[in-house]
Homo-oligomer: A and B are copies of this chain.
């Protein structure tokens, strides 16, 4: 393990965190809140540590795959630990485990909260809390790469660990340029949503925090009822932007390059939109009696479907009170998740496509044992490695999921709560069902369960392996 290089990278992550912390400090100045002081202290602390770690670039700056993975996992943990400090220091979340849970939930764009009264927070902390979604959505390393020529040719190993999906799509030959394009699109979507929300009468602070939660597919709200009290038009805008943020960014890249037909033919996008349409309609049918008008039914159904499949986690209604069928649909959508290469979580639509094609192929082999067929997506053969990695991913996902649900059993809450709590954190959604439903929160879990769920959030965001590698002895061995 190239410890010096890992420390150097961690240093840069903290440098950027100190810069990010300037935004809530600005908010505290605007609102004249004393809560800004801890943010200043933490920003200075981050900068100081960063300065010490990055003073000297290590001579050996080679970064192999495992070092890339370990660096990314550690960075996310360190970033969350420092991000949690202001909450503890302002006294708004006095317990460090809770503050860590909340911050990990922010950075991983989960949106699960241990706060029973969100509205009691200062504007400063509300802003920071939502802003972590925006940072985590596209990824902090993608950001660093976009602005800094950090590591020469080995950036890809870092990006691989942070980017969601079965394979990393590089738009252009250089990682740096790909990162720039990604953040360019991300910022564009952010700006458009903020403007639209403002246009339809949302206050600026609400528009900013809601947008961070939407485009990062996070889900932290600034109101106790999440999104229920906003005007229907605002809810519809958020529905659309949640769905847009859950799309594979390759789609936007193709649009920018005017390759419209290629963009519209993307299997993942088509499947994703088809799933939303079909499940949305089914949910409409089965929740019709819960709402006064057809329009209201459609609005709430698609908001909830969009919120869950993109793993955002906003809510306009307490879907925990719905009948079991639409509720179960939402639970399944939690697992499917958004597209690969989006800001959303879950297992990703493309993995489901690959799995379905693999199953079909396997049946084909059983029917004609000598038949050799390659699995294709968007007309291109999928690398054997990708198929294998997808299957292994799903198997590991399954194992970690079961293990987490078992351990959560020690709190003696009901099975649905435990199951959906793991589903909602592991898939980076936020609200689950029953005791962790959209009108509730995660405060009743014991510290040990909060740690498990925090781990699940990180494992979900970084797609399991980078987190698992922290526990592999071989990761830490010197080469």
Contact = CB atoms under 8 A, between A and B. Distances in A.
A255 to B, nearest CB: 32
Given A335-B402, A358-B395, A469 B363 contact: yes
Given A391-B392, A395-B358, A406-B332, A412 B363 contact: no
Interface in A392-413: 392, 394-396, 398-399, 402, 405-406, 408-413
B415 A328 contact: yes
Contacts of A415: 324, 327-328, 331, 415-416, 419-420, 433
A396 B358 CA distance: 9
A379 interface: no
A474 B362 contact: no
A327 B465 CA distance: 29
A409 B362 contact: no
Given A391-B391, A415-B433, A406 B325 contact: yes
A418 interface: yes
Contacts of A65: 366-367, 369
Contact of A412 (B324, B394, B398): B324
A323 interface: yes
B416 A414 contact: yes
A331 B475 CA distance: 33
Interface of A: 65-66, 69, 323-329, 331-332, 335, 355-356, 358-359, 362-364, 366-369, 388-389, 391-392, 394-396, 398-399, 402, 405-406, 408-416, 418-420, 433, 465, 468-469, 472, 474-475
Q: Which of A358, A391, A410, A474 has the most CB of B within 10 A?
A: A391
Contacts of A367: 65-66, 469, 472, 474-475
Given A325-B409, A325-B410, A367-B475, A362 B389 contact: yes
Contacts of A391: 388, 391-392, 394-395
A274 to B, nearest CB: 16
Contact of A366 (B332, B362, B418, B465): B465
B395 A359 contact: yes
Nearest to A413: B324
Contact of A399 (B359, B388, B433): B359
A324 B418 contact: yes
B414 A363 contact: no
Contacts of A363: 465, 468-469, 472, 474
Contacts of A66: 366-368
Residue of A363, A408, A419 ringed by the most chain B CB atoms within 10 A: A363
A79 to B, nearest CB: 22
A332 B402 contact: yes
Nearest to A336: B402
Contacts of A324: 409-415, 418
A473 to B, nearest CB: 10
Contact of A364 (B394, B413, B420, B474): B474
Given A414-B416, A419-B415, A406 B328 contact: yes
Nearest to A67: B367
Given A367-B469, A367-B474, A433-B415, A359 B325 contact: no
